[in-house]
Chain A
Amino acid sequence: KNQVEQSPQSLIILEGKNCTLQCNYTVSPFSNLRWYKQDTGRGPVSLTIMTFSENTKSNGRYTATLDADTKQSSLHITASQLSDSASYICVVSLNTGNQFYFGTGTSLTVIP
């Protein structure tokens, strides 16, 4: 069964600290994996996208890693800011092109 699981479900960190969010998936055949940031009351916005052959991808203070062998991905946030408070969603797509599997997200709260 194709599934995407994220952990932790929620996380509270102090401003300026780093954190790492996890995503495990069983989706196959795998095409790509995306991390989205969803602010409260907004639609998801793409942070990174990685294909099977990519191990890491950075976007500013966000760095995503992918281990296609173990089917695990992580999103590392460096020097967190208050504006990083949001839900972070991992999405895996099949290589058929039109099927997407969403994790339930990690809710991150950054406190001053």
Chain B
Amino acid sequence: NAGVMQNPRHLVRRRGQEARLRCSPMKGHSHVYWYRQLPEEGLKFMVYLQKENIIDESGMPKERFSAEFPKEGPSILRIQQVVRGDSAAYFCASSDLLAKNIQYFGAGTRLSVL
């Protein structure tokens, strides 16, 4: 049973480009969470999704950031027109319906904006 898979592991973008981060939850998990971790800081909640629905996006910046979790395929965190301040590690976690408060984390995607 593969764990939470994130790709790419490292992503380099120039200012103004778009970044797409992918997260495949653990098999059988229907809940996905995205977190951002700035250097030397703790994880910060961004968004919580179930299949085809955004449940809580209170931690997501209002502009340039969006997330989706389609019926088929991975969850996508999309950052448009990236700026240097978007450079961070982005972690995805998943949980199943019966144990929503037990999360399993992926290895993260490290975004560097030049």
Contact = CB atoms under 8 A, between A and B. Distances in A.
Given A43-B108, A105-B42, A100 B91 contact: no
A75 to B, nearest CB: 16
B44 to A, nearest CB: 7
A36 B41 CA distance: 15
Interface size class of B (residues with CB under 8 A): 20 to 34
The binding surface of chain B is classed by DSSP as strand
B41 to A, nearest CB: 6
Contacts of A104: 41-42
B31 A98 contact: yes
Contact of B101 (A31, A43, A105): A31
Contact of A102 (B6, B44, B56): B44
Contacts of B104: 46
A102 B100 contact: no
A98 B55 contact: yes
Nearest to B56: A98
Contact of A32 (B35, B42, B45, B101): B101
Contacts of A89: 42-43
B51 to A, nearest CB: 14
A55 to B, nearest CB: 19
Interface string A50-90: 00000000000000000000000000000000000000010
Contacts of B107: 42-43
Given A42-B108, A43-B108, A100 B45 contact: yes
Given A98-B31, A102-B43, A105-B42, A43 B102 contact: no
Interface of B: 4, 6, 31, 33, 35, 41-45, 48, 55-56, 91, 100-108, 110
Interface of A: 31-32, 34, 36, 41-46, 49, 89, 93, 95, 97-100, 102-105
Q: Report, nearest first, the 9 A-B pairs whose CB atoms are least far apart.
A: A104-B42, A43-B105, A97-B100, A93-B101, A102-B43, A43-B107, A44-B105, A102-B42, A43-B108
